[in-house]
A = this chain, B = another copy of it.
């Protein structure tokens, strides 16, 4: 059986990667969403193993020490990370795994999993990105400007990705992700020798 793909959808905040991933999972129910681990407390309604794997700081740090994360970050006193095992198990079973993640996280994943499929989501325009950041929260003007400048800088990291999608139309953007997944499954990789042998054996 062929291995599944690790599909990493990433980009600056406000580019719309969350909406794209949600819609992708609706139309491609066989794709598995990678569930993150965190040390923060569950919020009302959050389900263990669905929204997050909730764990103690000590356990999280043990997993870090055992190199059990594809990536992790420490944000406002809590850890967040992507457990390696889930991705490994599912892809080994031939399932595609989707990871929706910020740029710093994606770059960490790429170091450990270079054969993943790295997709960068760009907003339709910088103007539009600013509007989205403004509409997102109740932040001060200075905070908005800072967030916007961070996104502006982060866009340069697109160079490290395999694909770039401009999110000017949600349906089109989702279609593009689906096309990328379909195309990646047709790619000639080092496994091709095995495929040829299998193919020729049957005569």
Give A contacts to B, CB under 8 Å.
119-120, 122, 125-127, 152, 155-156, 158-159, 161-165, 175-176, 178-180, 182-184, 186-188, 192-193, 195-196, 199-200, 202-203
Contacts and interface: CB of A to CB of B under 8 A. Distances in A.
Contact of A125 (B122, B155, B199): B199
The quantity of this chain's copies bound in the complex is: 2
Nearest to A190: B159
Nearest to A177: B186
A192 B158 contact: yes
Nearest to A124: B199
Contacts of A120: 188
Given A178-B179, A179-B178, A192-B158, A186 B199 contact: no
Nearest to A173: B186
A158 B189 CA distance: 10
A192 B125 CA distance: 15
Which 3 pairs show the lowest CB-CB distances between chains A and B?
A: A183-B183, A179-B182, A179-B179
A202 to B, nearest CB: 6
A131 B155 CA distance: 53
Contacts of A183: 163, 176, 179-180, 182-184
B200 A152 contact: yes
Contacts of A159: 188, 192-193
B192 A186 contact: no
A179 B192 CA distance: 20
Nearest to A162: B188
A159 to B, nearest CB: 6
A196 B156 contact: yes
